[in-house]
Structure 1
């Protein structure tokens, strides 16, 4: 089936294999989510067996999320231009191949490069699935289709770290950590074959061309920021690292001016420049950058602390983090029970307070118990962190996007999703570098973890303060 849609027509006759197609799309989402989580558990084992410096641990996560952030900006538009089924299949083939390259990597450089490829192809694959759902399902079934994402994403986020730890410890066929990537092969192959058979083809007849210079500018700007943050510590912070970070600010400014000039000339920009003149949206971008940086950086450092500091196995580390994942599910469910509609922005603020309180409880527990702390002692603080995280994330995107005009929502949502991924890369770089720097300065694991936790509290305080720039409530659904 092939459909060419106009810009005005966004809903077509429902596709008869739509529910099978939905499960194909969900399989791709699961692969992406798992690969964003698993390396935080397996990183110490990978470094020990493959070699490489401490920066390898950071690049395993940052390389993936940075590539994803950059690729997501244009991933959806590729589907509009060349067909969503076609780009989904290309993305899935590339993602699966990159997973194989990760699984057979023999050097740290090969593994990091393969992770970057995973992120880029994931950014091509994921937006196509979301676009196809909007096309395949009639309005009366659209809510039910998107509702399937909640349970699937919840199970993946809860079970992903535990699965990763189990696979590493089980050492199936002597593969060890490599199995966390090789497990994508059967899932990916099944998704590719099913996509070829069951996904319909949709393409916009009047899709705009790609803004390749804009992609290049934002890619260079992001790399100039992240690279020195990760590598600078090991190199002794030479002058070029600070020059690079300063140059990244200049490049982001050049990117902004280029996008504004492109919009004035009547060409479609990568990001709608008018969005950045809206206080709510710019505040939401900075708040999102702070929140997601802290969340992802904290996750990496916590797993390093439990394995390197407390001597947990990968499986034990995955299980130790389970209270946070379960708390996140509970917080999200609580928000969806009606609190989000009643409290609006207030729920986001309550969530950051609960999350900060949980982090403080965790820091106090580590301080009092020292290296004798066990997983059960860490559970209350982690549980509170998870509940606060769920309460914050549930309304976040809807509240931020309420401050933009309907015709800007596509560009705004794509930019917010990219910032979420960029925040993950930035948090991995900054908090990971801080943790390793403290250890190098002869701080103990417990003390280094406590400092990292208090930095996370500071980022949550910044998120709370910036939330006052956001609209009080999300835009009512039609």
Structure 2
């Protein structure tokens, strides 16, 4: 029985890795896809944003669906949809079809990812539970590092279509192993907030679309209005909410959401700009372009491991400032020495993320954990989508040179220092929370 649980855990980890790999692989292959399918230059950004936008907007609802109808059931439905849409992406013959399939693929991923923690907690107890949860961070770190390299390698030796086809055998293997997962659901099945989901999804889309393409600020204002209505609806509901409003009893969590959005906008935006610069400006091949991201990814993974094992326990949330400072140095130096600067920036990313998630989640009550993790993840993805939209647009509309985008990213990091300070909670004495493993 224990062996079956660990084999079931492998299925969950592969599903988690598929999501992260898909985002990073496609980001590297996007210019090649555009060269093959044609279309507008802005489509390069949409190949990534069309996936992350519905993924971000539907993550919380995906978690609620698992709570109500069974996490294993929703997990299997999501993986099935992910496999089918991956195959559709591989067969796309024009940009619009690919972008539409990517959007549905992101929606199916939002059914998969929120179930992971609940299924692990249902299958493990005690020390085994700690070990199982501890596998998430390293696997996600490895996926983050290998994603760009794998994307470059597959595209170089085969074609960009194989980038999507790789999900098909992986997804089928996950489905084959998923029967080993225990079924679980919330003791009190929550209602599904359909109106809140519609407002959140439509509002998010209307905020991102003008930044990516239309420059229609009326649409942007409409998106902000819909998001405001979603918040108002959540405040007025007594049950069936998308999120636990008790999370905002302390101002620190609200500032943590803002910090997450800003930071991951920089992360996603900078990596896209580097890839675009390598392929569109320097005319490097996709494999060489993916290798350019290796210093960033490898340094980030190593620094995250060191921070989680030793530094957070000693320095607590102050490590966030160190990480942001190191990242700022990397961004400032990047226009003059790109690869060394990316290594420096990657160290900053690794130091910050572990300290950030530890600080953001340490005050969360047990009944709020699922909602808090889902909301942080959703905001992280939303920030990444905005980063792709904003920094990609700056690059594409300013002579396809990275300098301006990197300077703006540095300015956003400075703002992030301020929001990170506002999210910190005052502590009596020297109390440092246990480091939190970061899945993404």
Q: TM-score, length-normalised on structure 2?
A: 0.94
Aligned to 1:408: 368
Give distance in 1, aligned partners of 2:90 and 2:127.
42
| 3-state SS of paired residue (1:22) | helix
Residue 283 (1) aligns with residue 255 (2): yes
Q: Give the drift of 1:276.
A: 3.7
Aligned partner of residue 311 in structure 1, secondary structure: coil
Paired with 2:83 and 2:37, the residues of 1 have a C-alpha distance of 21
User: For residues 265 and 141 of structure 2, what CA distance do their matches in structure 1 show?
Assistant: 21
Q: Structure 2 CA distance, aligned partners of 1:167 and 1:409?
A: 38
Query: Which residue does the alignment assign to 2:428?
Result: none
Alpha carbons 2:54, 2:103 under 8 Å: kept: yes
Q: Residues 167-192 of structure 1, C-alpha deviation per residue, up to 9 Å, x if partnerless?
A: 11112xxxx11000001111111111
- SS of aligned partner of 1:201: coil
Q: Secondary structure at the match of 1:210?
A: coil
Which residue number in structure 2 is paired with residue 72 of structure 1?
59
Instruction: State the Cα distance separating 1:205 from its structure 2 match.
Output: 4.1
Contact kept? 1:55, 1:231, Cα under 8 Å: yes
Counterpart residue number, 1:467: 420
Q: How does 1:19-418 map to 2 (within 5 A)?
A: 19-171=6-158, 176-196=159-179, 198-232=180-214, 237=215, 241-262=216-237, 266-365=238-337, 378-418=338-378
CA distance in 2, matches of 1:77, 1:274: 17
Cα displacement (A) at 1:425: 0.8
Cα deviation for residue 107 of structure 1 reads 1.2
Q: Helix, strand or coil: the match of 1:364? A: coil
| Correspondence for 2:406 among 433, 441, 453 | 453
Contact 1:327 1:383 in 2 (8 A): yes
1:435-454: CA deviation from partner (whole Å, max 9, x where unpaired): 11112xxxxx4xx3011111
| Offset, 1:404 | 4.1
Please, which of 369, 379, 390 is the counterpart of residue 430 of structure 1? Answer: 390
Distance in 1 between residues matched to 2:182 and 2:246, nearest whole Å: 35
Q: Deviations over 1:356-394 (max 9, x none)?
A: 1011111233xxxxxxxxxxxx32111001110000111
Q: Is the 8 A contact 1:339 1:347 kept in 2?
A: yes
Q: Provide Cα deviations, 1:233-270, integer angstroms capped at 9, x if missing partner.
A: xxxx4xxx1111111121111111111111xxx31311
Matched residues in 1 for 2:71 and 2:371: separation?
18
CA 1:272 to 1:200, structure 2 compared with 1: closer, same or farther past 3 Å? closer
Larger Rg: 1
- CA distance, structure 2, for counterparts of residue 93 and residue 60 of structure 1: 21
Separation in 2, partners of 1:256, 1:344:
32
Asked if the contact 2:31–2:44 (Cα under 8 Å) also holds between the matched residues in 1, the reply is yes
Which runs of 5 or more structure 1 residues have no equivalent in the other structure? 1-13, 366-377, 440-444
The CA distance in 2 between the partners of 1:134 and 1:164, in whole Å, is 33
Query: Post-superposition shift, 1:475?
Result: 4.3
Secondary structure of 2:313's aligned partner:
helix
Task: Label 1:217 to 1:15 Cα distance change in 2 as closer, same or farther (>3 A).
Answer: farther
Q: How many residues align?
A: 431
CA contact (8 A) 1:256 1:273 kept: no
CA distance in 1 between counterparts of 2:131 and 2:118 reads: 15
Structure 2 unaligned runs (5+)? 426-430
Give the Å deviation of 1:465. 1.1
